[in-house]
Each structure stands twice: as structure tokens, then as C-alpha cells.
Amino acid sequence: MRNLHVRGQLDRVFTATTALSIVLLTLVLVAILGPMVYRGSSAVFFQGTVEFRKMQKNLFGRGNEQALNAEVAETDQLRRQVYQMIDGFKKGVDVEALSEQVREIYRQFGQELRDKNVPTGQYTKLRELTRRIRDKLETAFHSQDINEIKRAVAEVLKEADNPHLKGTSAEKFFALARQFLQAAGQIDLSKHQEYAAAVQEVEGILFHSDSLPGLLGPRPGEPPAPLTMLRYGATRWDQAQVLLDRFLWVDQWVQEKPGEPLVLKRRPRAELFPESLRPLFAYVEQNADKMLHPRRTIYWQFLIDDNINSHYFGGIGPEILGTMLITVVGMLFVIPLGIISAAYLVECASDGWTMRIIRMGINTLAGVPSIVFGLFGLAFFVLFLFPALGFEPKPCILAASMTLAVLTLPVMIRASEEAIRSVPASYKEGSLALGASRFHTFVAVTFPAALPGILTGVILSLSRIAGETAPILFTGAVSLGAVPHSVFDPTRTLSYGSYDMAVGDRLAMMVPHNQYGMVVTLVLLILILNGAAIVLRTRVFKKLRGH
Amino acid sequence: MNDSNAAFTLAPAADSPRPLALTPGQDLRGYLSALLGRAVLFFITFSSVLAVLLILVFVVIRSVGFLSGSSIVEFLASQNWRPTAEPPVFGALAIIVGSLYVSFAALVFAVPLGILAAVFLSDIVSWKVRNVVKPIVEILAAIPSVAYGFFAVLVLAPWLQKQFGFSTGTNALNASLILAIMALPTIISVAEDSISALGRELREASYSCGATRLETIVRVVIPAAHSGIIAAVVLGMMRAIGETMVVWMASGNAPQIPHPWWDLAQSVRTLTATIAGEMGEAPETSLHRGALFAMGVLLLLMTLGMNLVSEYFLARAKKAGGRT
Amino acid sequence: MRKAIVSAVAVALAMSTAVRAETLRIEGSTTVGPIADAFAEYFKGVYPNLEITVNKNGSGNGATALIEGRCDIAAMSRFMEPQEFSKAVANKVYPVAWTIAMDGVCVVVHPSNPVKTLTSAQVREIYMGKITNWSQVGGSQTPIVVISRDSSSGTYETFETLIMKKQPMAQGVEYVNANPQAQARVRTTPGAIGYVGLGFLEGVKAVPIDGIAPTRQTVANGTYPLSRPLFLFTNGFPKLGSIPFKFVTFYLTEKGQDLIEAKDFVPMTNY
């Protein structure tokens, strides 16, 4: 043959290649699981802010009330300055709010006059006067010319000494006029609308918008937002940093060359505002951690809590419970049925045509998409079998487990069959020769010898049952519902929950830790359940090998 | 294989306190209890197999309305899949090709890797290392398909786009890579089982002739285990062709036949993805739903075909004495 | 004494009827699902004994579940098809539609795309495969990656009717199964064009169609050409004052409007 050296080299290369294949597999596993575990674990381990502790106190009743109150007082102290700066700025720019305020004062004054039973003549005169003041002020608010504003405000302030207005609510007109004049002197009036929009965006980021939570949460005294998630600021420091970044910087896509793709440019948001508001940005940047108090948090209750607002807050307790229930009930069907069927097919059935057709049919099922199993489960178990047995025909855990059992039975039967078949005939013959019955032989000899292979089947079907989504979509999974009381209730599960988060709502983008947390918990759950089987298998193997 | 054992069933052991010959009553009782046990076992097996097989009937029945009512030729030969157009066109050719295309591509990636890994586990490393490494393969099988889907869309697709300059990252390559990863555990464990089942005699004989490990494995072990390896490949293929969620997220779902045929960077659509994606929204009694079930029947026929192929190979291997 | 016993029994009876959980089952569209979730959470807070389940498995399945009596309310992003109606009537179920909100379908591109506006004819030609490069519509020299929602979703139907005018899409069009996926694909693909619901505009650029940008206002007043209604269906008109009635009319309340806005849809009311 060829010389020994080349053969040795080739052999080494081959060994290295096979080792490389395993290294590659491990790398793939790390590449898939690594980021997922990293993000998922941050659902439990993270830097929780004071908002997180507020949320925990209000929604789940956890935490020390006194300590929390002290903390809230401390942070509120610092936040007050943010509110003041924004309010001061808005006095100059938020035209609509100012106009509304003026109209409110006008209405209030009219009510006051009616309450005091002022004579009709004087009433008409004063109404006339205040209406003029109101209109003058509104003109001033909407004007972009500082001289026009000064003129209008001066005309309004002329009435400040009017004895009929002294000591009434109409005095607020003058306070407002003076404030506005002062604020208007500091900003570029032609940018009124631009500023108003920009300050609204800032308020959205800091407090909350219609649909997104903000950095600090709603201002004190504000009516509660419609969704619970909008009632708190950034509960996690990583979230807070994202929001802070968005607060400090504006992303702009700029065209550098015509006909080329735009380029991302970042510029400080402060530049969108006049000098008077710029200190706000430096203040928030410097004091963000003091306003939020990030602290290392282990939120282990993630594993038992119910979720709030489609998994924005809270945990995955009911999902874990549902997954375990479905898996356990499903395995109760799969393991005995699979082993018995496999034993029968190997030991009792003749190896003729029927067997072949059955095996072919079972193997063919691998090509049926899992969603079809779901429709089948609905049609057969829920709508046909349940009424026939006297149960209420509604999707529930039992139906879901049975459907999943049908899905995995072929895997289980096939694996057990292979395992039982590969037990050497000499074992069985020995046992039978000793006078044991066939049943006894199977239980005492064949089954233990086949156990490692059967456990592989258990591992494969268990993973499938716990992880499948489509078959339970119609037979027992819900995205929102009570914790199940019995196997006749529908349930939430981890697999369906993570699928639901991925396709339904935009929330998943805001709380990737919860989404990944769910997937990682599912993987861990499967691994823990499998771990037992793997350990068992190794032990049995050792015994069989005589180590 | 062991039906001849039946005769030994009731034979008593030598030191048994029972008399050697049974009375007719005992004989009858033993016979009846064995019969009863068998009947019970038969019933359990029958019902579980029946439940499993019913689904085949279910899929076929639900597709009858479509298959009898519209043109099967159009279904199989047209590339236009427009189920919601007026009038609807149900041409599944591109989708059928897509299914096969992605699965074959997945095998091209998975089979060499799978066999190498199986050889590594069975012939190269020690028993202890094997027990550590094999669970890695099983973890790959334990990751739920939703997780693979996320990985395909959020990580792999942008990476492929950036690295290879593809215009789209959700394409045949993405789908087949992920499918390869998902088929690997099946391929590795079945192949490894059949390779380790060969026993030491063959290998020792080869080594004693002076062959290196490479030569032993390539010339002796793999040929001897080829029936099991083919079975592993077919099982892997069936896993790939039946997978739903991942393909739905990773393949791009464009109902087209790649042109040129080797261009993996194009999006394709598979039968399973079409069924999963459209079943939820299609009205219950519509032709559309029927067409989706007809796709299910096609999938069944495909897996049946693959089964026949694997059965043929296994039978041939048996006849040649490859398996004892 | 007797009085006390009678009143105790009465209280016990009242409590037992109150404790007996009333159930409300909602099934259907993944698009309407978030609104149903938000409403359901609010109702759970108001009626602690109410057991609400929400299942998002598609409009078609929602309709089927309503027809077969497996749910109380079907959430749908499309109107019921004639064949579904006839099947319902044959089952003695009389579907009543409640239009609870509007959704805008926004045409989106990668934020680096210099294209400022598109006409609906241009969008149609892009999806038909007649325009294949962004330079043909005033953009950079980049091939267009066309992304569509799956052909049986309500979003697709809206797009197909209003933009495609029932013309077939090109074969190379990619299909994705949900709004978040469409958004993720466009956000990570520089040459991509896609269409998503109004709530999915973060990280992508919504292109004005025929000069009108999609906002809550333009969708509500109908000037934006691509919008669609979202429905709840009940079996017959629910009994006045019953829980299903309160649920399907909740969109008319101020609270309901806030929740719909919080989920980034366009409410039918304007408080």
C-alpha cells in the first residue's frame, strides 16, 4: 500500500475532521442558545429601578412600604425640577394649552359673576371686557411678532388695576400674560409649532405617550393611563438607558450624495430647543440614576407571577404550570401506549404485510405538518370523542395532551421498537429456557435491556410535546385565561406564549427579556425533564455494559 | 424472528416445585390467560395505532372536496398560487419543488456532518467523553422550533445578508441551514446506533490486518452499517420535509422555483409553510382549505415514497446479510 | 331568628350566584388579538368573577368557532365570507358584526432609503415585479426586496384590494406571517419594501402614498388610501347589559377608546 507516513497523516486529518464536526455542532449550539440564554436570564437578573419596586408593591404587594416611600420621596425631589423646567418652557410655546387656559379663566369668571348676582348691565359690561382680554391674549399667543405680543399684553395689563376685576378669578389673566411675555422674550417665535411638537415628543419619552411607557413614568396627579404598563417608568436600568439615549439624541437619516442611500447621523436633541430648555438635558443625563435608583435585582418571582398587559410586566407562572401539565398528561399517554404497542408489534405480531403497512403508516406521519394535527385533534378529540364520552366538547388540556400524544406516538413506537428488537435473541432464549413466561421474560429481561433505547424515545417525544405550538392552537392553548383547575380547562403554555408574543403585538420588541425568558425557561424545563432520562439512561447503560 | 419461542412459554424450570406435566385445567387456564393478555395488548396497540392512522384518513377526506372539484393537473403543473384571487388559482408546482429543494439542500449540509459526528462518537472518543458529548446533540433536538425560528430571522438572516451580500436573508440557504441543524440529532443518533451496533469483531479484524482507523471506518465500518446510515438519512429527510414553523419563518415563502437552480440565495416556499401560514385564515369549507389539505396529501405521498425507498434499502441490506 | 336565617340563605344564594364564574370566550385574528387582550384585562379588573379566554388562531378559525358555538365572540380582521355566513345560518347562528377600530396599512421601507414618496401605481408595479430597482422610482441603485404578508391575512386582503387592484403579485415576493416579522425584515434589509399595521413603524420609514403620510388622523378621516376596519362578531345581538354586550360595545366608551389608542389602532370614537 501507500507509505505509512501518508496513511498516518490521512488518519490524523480524518480524526481531526470528525472532532471538528462535533466542535462545529457545539458552536452552533452556543450560537443559538448563547444570546437567548443571555437575554432570557436578564428577565430574572437585572438592575431594577425604583419604578420596578413601585410596580412590585402596587401590583403584587411585595416590598417594604416605608423604604419604598422614602425612596420615592427622594427621587420625586429630583424629578420635580424636570417637571418645572418643562412647564416653564411650555408656558411660552404650548399655544393650544395656553388658549385653553385663557378660555377656562373666562368661563370661570362668568360663573363667578352669575354667582354674585351682579346687575345685568354691569354683567354684560364685564363679560364684554373679559372677552376682549381673552381675544387679545389669544392673538398674542398665536402671534409670531414680539412687538405685536408686547402691544397686546400691554393693552391687557392696562386693565390690571380695574377695581371690578380685583380679587376675582380674572386676575389670573394678568399673571398668565406676564408669564407669557417673559417666556416669549426668550424664544424664537417663528418656531412655535416646531417647539410644541418637540416638547411633546420629549414628554412622551420622559413620562409616557399614548402607547409607550416613558423614562420616569407619569407625572404625579395625572389621571391614570389606560394600560397598566403606561403607569410606570422604566422598571429596568437597561430599558432606562435605551430611553435616556433616545431622549438625548435624535437619529436623522441624511442624504450625503444624491442617488445614494441615506446615512445615519446622530445629533443632540438639545439642539432642537432654544437655550432656555437646554439645561434640562444635562440635568436628566446627570441625575438619571438618582431619579431611578437602579439596584441589582433578582426577580425569581418571574417563574411564578402572572403576567400583566400581554407580558409587559410580571412573569410566566401560569405558562410554566400549563406546559408541565400538558407534558405530564401527554407523557402518561405516550409512554405506556408507545411501549406496549412496540412490544406487541415486535413480540406478538407476525412480521407480515399488516405489520409492514402499519409501520409504513406510522412512519408516513412524519410528513404531516403539525398544524394538521391540531385540526385533527379538534375534529376528532374535541368534537367527536369528548361528546361520545360525555365530556363537554371544548378545547382543554386533556385534548391538547391527546393530540400531542398522537403527534409523538410514532417517534415513541419507533424508538421503542428498535430498542426492543435490538435486544439479542440469546437473552430472551435464555430466560425462556429457564421457564419464565413470555410476559415475565419481557418485563424482567427484554425491557431492562431495551431501556436505554426506550429512554431515547422518551427524550425525543418529551421535547416535542413540550415545545410544539401548532397542535395545541386549536385544542387547548389560550393566550389569555385563568389558571386551569383541572385537565378539562384550557391553559396557557410557554410554547404558545412565545409564539403569541412573536406574532401578535409590538410589545415583544420592548420586552425582549420576557420573550427570551419564556423561550429559555421552556428549553430549561425540557432539559431538566430530559436530564432525568439522560442520567437514567447512562446508569442503565453502565449496568448493561458491566462497568 | 422469535415466533418459534411460543412453544417454550409454558415449559417449567427444572427445580420448580410444580409438577412437570400440567393438568388439562391448568393448561387451559394458562392458554386462556395468555390469550386474554394478548387480546388486551392487541386492543391497546390497535387503538393507539388507529388513532395515529386516523389522521391520514382525516387529511385525505378533507382534501376530497378539492381534488374532485378542480383540476389536479393545474394543481400539479401550474406555478401560480393565488388562493384569494377571483377566480382563485391553485397551482402548487413551485411550492412542491420548494419543499424538495430545501430538504435536499438541508441533507447536503447535514449528512456529511452527521456521519462524521456519529463516527466520532462511536469510534474515536472514549465511552466517558461520548456520554458528555451526546447530550449536546440531544439538546439540539430539545430546542423548540419557535426558538430556531427566532434565530433564523433575527440572527442568521441579517448575518447572511451582510456576509454574502444577498439581497434577502430569509432564503433557501437560511431555511436549509436551520433544517440541517434540526435534522442532525436524528441523523447522528440513528447513524451512531447502527455504527456502534456493529460490534468489535469487524474492527479488530480490520486493525489486525494493519489498516488505519480511517481505512477501517471508510472501507469496513461504514459499508457494513450502510443500511442504518441510509435509514438515518431518510429519517432526517422526513424530519426536514415535515418541519413547519422554522421553514415558515426562514425560507421567505416566495412561491417560485429558483433560477438558476443552484441559487440558494433566493426565497422559496414549502408545502408545510403554506399549510401552516394559510390554514388559520382560510374559511372552513372553502376550496382554499381543501387545496391546503391536498398539499397535506402530497406530503403524505412524499414521505410514503421515502419510506418505500428506505424499506427497500433495509430489505436489500438484510438479504445481503448486512444485518444479523 | 327566622329572619336572620332567611337573610343568611339569601346572602349565601346571592354569593353563590356571584361566585359562579361567568365565562367569555374570544377566538380569532392575531391582529385584533391585542385589542381583545387589552379589553379582557380591563374587564377582568371590573368583573373579578368573569373568566375570559382569548385565543389568537386566525380569523378563519374564529369564524368557524363562532359558527360551531365554541366561542362567544369571534375577532376578525376581515369581514365574514359568504360561505361562512351561509354555514352559520344553516347552524342557526346569526353573526352580527361590530366594527371596533380601524387599522392603517403603511407601506414601509428601510430608513436609509432616499425615496420620499410613492404613488399607489408605483407600489403596485413594484409588487407586480415591473419595477425591480429603487433607482426607477427616484431612489438609489439598489435592487428591491419585496415583502408581503401571507396571502390569507386581512392585511394582505386590504393591500390586494386597494393597491394591487386584484393584479397578481410577482413570484419572487417574500411572504411573512405577522406584522412584527414584516417589520423586522424591513428594518434589517436595506433594499426592502413591505407593509405593516400602524403600530409597527419603529425603526422603519413609512412612505407617504400619493402624497399622504399614514397617521392616526389621516386614517381616521379616510384620506390615507390604505385602511381597514377590525371586527368583533357575536351570535345574534347580545342581550342588553350582558357581559358580551358590554364587551362588544366597549369600544364606544372613552376608556375603550384609550385602550384602542394605546394599542396603536385608530378608534371609531373621538372623545
Task: Tell whether the model's pLDDT for residue A424 goes beyond 90.
Answer: no
Is B88:B290 a contact under the CB 8 Å cutoff?
A: no
Task: Tell whether the model's pLDDT for residue C251 goes beyond 80.
Answer: yes
Which sequence spans correspond to the domains of chain B? 2-69, 92-323
Which range in A71-75, A347-351, B207-211 is most confidently predicted, on average pLDDT?
A71-75
Q: What is the mean pLDDT of residues A40-52?
A: 92
- Among C55, C178, C263, beta carbon nearest to A211: C263
C150-180 pLDDT, tens digit per residue, is 876 778 888 988 898 888 888 888 888 888 8
Task: Tell whether the model's pLDDT for residue A329 goes beyond 50.
Answer: yes
CA dist list (Å): B131 to A448, A457, A542, B19, B136: 19, 17, 11, 49, 10
Task: Tell whether the model's pLDDT for residue B314 goes beyond 80.
Answer: no
- Nearest chain C residue to A262, by CA: C112
- Among B248, B279, B283, beta carbon nearest to C63: B283
- Nearest chain B residue to A429, by CA: B5
Query: Looking at this protein, which amino acid is placed at residue A30?
Result: V
- Nearest chain A residue to B137, by CA: A25
Query: Is the backbone of residue A266 left (phi > 0), alpha (psi -120 to 50) or beta?
Result: beta
Q: Which of C53, C185, C250, C264 to mutate to test the interface with A (most CBs of A within 10 A)?
A: C53
Is A462:A411 a contact under the CB 8 Å cutoff?
A: no
Is B185:B109 a contact under the CB 8 Å cutoff?
A: no
Confidence of residue B8 (pLDDT cuts 50, 70, 90): very low
Confidence of residue C24 (pLDDT cuts 50, 70, 90): very high
Confidence of residue C267 (pLDDT cuts 50, 70, 90): very high
Residue B102's pLDDT is what?
94
Residue C236's pLDDT is what?
92
Q: Which range is least confidently modeled, A58-62, A341-345, B199-203, C137-141?
A: B199-203
Percent above pLDDT 70 for chain A: 98
Percent above pLDDT 70 for chain C: 92
Q: Which residues 156-215 in chain B show a CB within 8 A of chain C?
A: 157-158, 161, 167-170
Contact between A429 and B116 using a beta-carbon 8 Å cutoff: no
Taken in order of first residue, the domains within chain C and their CATH numbers are: 2-103+229-267 (3.40.190.10), 106-220 (3.40.190.10)
Residue C3's pLDDT is what?
52
Q: Report chain C residues whose CB lies below 8 A from the CB of B146.
A: none
Residue C1's pLDDT is what?
46
C-beta neighbour count of B40 within 10 angstroms: 12
Is A247:A215 a contact under the CB 8 Å cutoff?
A: yes
Contact between A481 and C54 using a beta-carbon 8 Å cutoff: yes
Task: Tell whether the model's pLDDT for residue B85 goes beyond 80.
Answer: no
Percent above pLDDT 70 for chain B: 90
Q: What is the mean pLDDT of residues A269-273?
A: 88
Residue C11's pLDDT is what?
47
Q: Is A474's Cβ below 8 Å from some Cβ in C?
A: yes
Indicate the pairing of strand C95-109 with strand C227-235.
antiparallel
Chains in contact with A, counting 3 or more C-beta pairs less than 8 Å apart as contact: B, C
C-beta neighbour count of A363 within 10 angstroms: 22
Cα distance between residue B263 and residue B251, in whole Å = 13
C-beta neighbour count of C200 within 10 angstroms: 26
Full-model pTM: 0.83
CA dist list (Å): A135 to A47, A142, C106, C130: 52, 11, 41, 58
Q: Is A261's Cβ below 8 Å from some Cβ in C?
A: yes
**Cβ contacts of A163 within 8 Å, gap of 6 or more:** none
Shortest distance, CA C82 to any CA of chain A (angstroms): 22
- Among C160, C171, C191, beta carbon nearest to B79: C171
C207-223 pLDDT, tens digit per residue, is 999 999 998 889 988 88
Residue A401's pLDDT is what?
95
Q: What is the mean pLDDT of residues A262-280?
A: 88
Cα A276–A277–A282 angle (5° rounding)? Answer: 120
Residue C252's pLDDT is what?
94
- Among C60, C61, C145, beta carbon nearest to B168: C145
Is B74:B90 a contact under the CB 8 Å cutoff?
A: yes
Contact between A261 and C112 using a beta-carbon 8 Å cutoff: yes
Contact between C171 and B254 using a beta-carbon 8 Å cutoff: yes
Q: Which residues 170-229 in chain C show a CB within 8 A of chain A?
A: 177-181, 183, 190, 199-200, 202, 205
- Nearest chain C residue to B154, by CA: C184
Q: Report chain A residues whose CB lies below 8 A from the CB of C178.
A: 502-504
Chains in contact with B, counting 3 or more C-beta pairs less than 8 Å apart as contact: A, C
- DSSP-derived letter for residue A207 is T
Contact between B214 and A369 using a beta-carbon 8 Å cutoff: no
Task: Tell whether the model's pLDDT for residue C19 goes beyond 70.
Answer: no
Q: Is B78's Cβ below 8 Å from some Cβ in C?
A: no
Q: What is the mean pLDDT of residues B145-170?
A: 84
Cα B50–B53–B54 angle (5° rounding)? Answer: 80
Q: What mean pLDDT value characterizes chain A? A: 86
- Among B79, B81, B254, beta carbon nearest to C174: B254
Which range in A107-111, A324-328, C154-158 is most confidently predicted, on average pLDDT?
A324-328
Task: Tell whether the model's pLDDT for residue A2 goes beyond 70.
Answer: no
Residue A546's pLDDT is what?
63
Q: Is B248's Cβ below 8 Å from some Cβ in A?
A: no
- Residue B272: phi and psi, rounded to 5, are -60, -40
Percent above pLDDT 90 for chain A: 26
DSSP A87-131: HHHHHHH-HHHHHHHHHHHHHHHHHHHHHTT--HHHHHHHHHHHH
* Rg of chain C on CA atoms, in Å: 23
Percent above pLDDT 90 for chain B: 14
Query: Looking at this protein, which amino acid is placed at residue A3?
Result: N
Cα distance between residue B266 and residue B260, in whole Å = 10
Closest CA to C255 of C45, C32, C30: C45
Query: Looking at this protein, which amino acid is placed at residue A458?
Result: V
Cα distance between residue C232 and residue C73, in whole Å = 6
Cα distance between residue A442 and residue B41, in whole Å = 13
Residue B317's pLDDT is what?
60
Indicate the pairing of strand A295-298 with strand A45-48.
antiparallel
**Cβ contacts of C179 within 8 Å, gap of 6 or more:** A503, A506, C31, C149, C155, C196, C197, C199, C200
Q: Report chain C residues whose CB lies below 8 A from the CB of A502.
A: 178, 180-181
Query: Looking at this protein, which amino acid is placed at residue C95?
Result: P
Contact between B12 and A435 using a beta-carbon 8 Å cutoff: yes
**CATH number 1.10.3720.10 is the correct assignment for the domain at B92-323:** yes
- Among C33, C141, C255, beta carbon nearest to A479: C33
Q: Is C37's Cβ below 8 Å from some Cβ in A?
A: yes
- Among C21, C112, C177, beta carbon nearest to A253: C112
Residue A434's pLDDT is what?
87
Shortest distance, CA B50 to any CA of chain C (angstroms): 27
Confidence of residue B153 (pLDDT cuts 50, 70, 90): confident
Shortest distance, CA C46 to any CA of chain A (angstroms): 14
Q: What is the mean pLDDT of residues A159-170?
A: 82
Residue A1's pLDDT is what?
52
Q: What is the mean pLDDT of residues A44-72?
A: 92
Q: Which range is least confidently modeled, A37-41, A92-96, B158-162, B216-220?
A: A92-96
Cα distance between residue C206 and residue B146, in whole Å = 29
Q: Is C22's Cβ below 8 Å from some Cβ in A?
A: no
Query: Looking at this protein, which amino acid is placed at residue A369?
Result: P
Q: What is the mean pLDDT of residues A98-105?
A: 85
- Among A14, A21, A499, beta carbon nearest to B113: A21
Dihedral sign, Cα of residue A270, residue A273, residue A278, residue A280? negative
CA dist list (Å): A413 to A43, A336, B193: 38, 10, 17
Q: Which residue has the cell 407625572?
A: A219
Residue A51's pLDDT is what?
93
- Residue B90: phi and psi, rounded to 5, are -115, 80
Confidence of residue B18 (pLDDT cuts 50, 70, 90): low
Task: Tell whether the model's pLDDT for residue A131 goes beyond 60.
Answer: yes
- Nearest chain B residue to C80, by CA: B283
Confidence of residue B107 (pLDDT cuts 50, 70, 90): very high
Contact between B288 and C157 using a beta-carbon 8 Å cutoff: no
Contact between C188 and B284 using a beta-carbon 8 Å cutoff: no
Shortest distance, CA B243 to any CA of chain C (angstroms): 16
Q: Which residues 87-106 in chain B show a CB within 8 A of chain C?
A: 94
Task: Tell whether the model's pLDDT for residue A150 goes beyond 90.
Answer: no
Q: Is C40's Cβ below 8 Å from some Cβ in A?
A: yes
Cα distance between residue A95 and residue A226, in whole Å = 26
Of residues A369 and A129, more confidence is placed in: A129
A300-309 pLDDT, tens digit per residue, is 999 999 988 8
Q: Which of A478, A485, A501, A511 to mutate to test the interface with C (most CBs of C within 10 A)?
A: A478
Residue C205's pLDDT is what?
93
- Nearest chain B residue to A17, by CA: B116
Closest CA to C150 of B248, B265, B156: B248
- Among A230, A479, A482, beta carbon nearest to C51: A482
Of residues B321 and B40, more confidence is placed in: B40
Q: Report chain C residues whose CB lies below 8 A from the CB of A225.
A: 258, 262
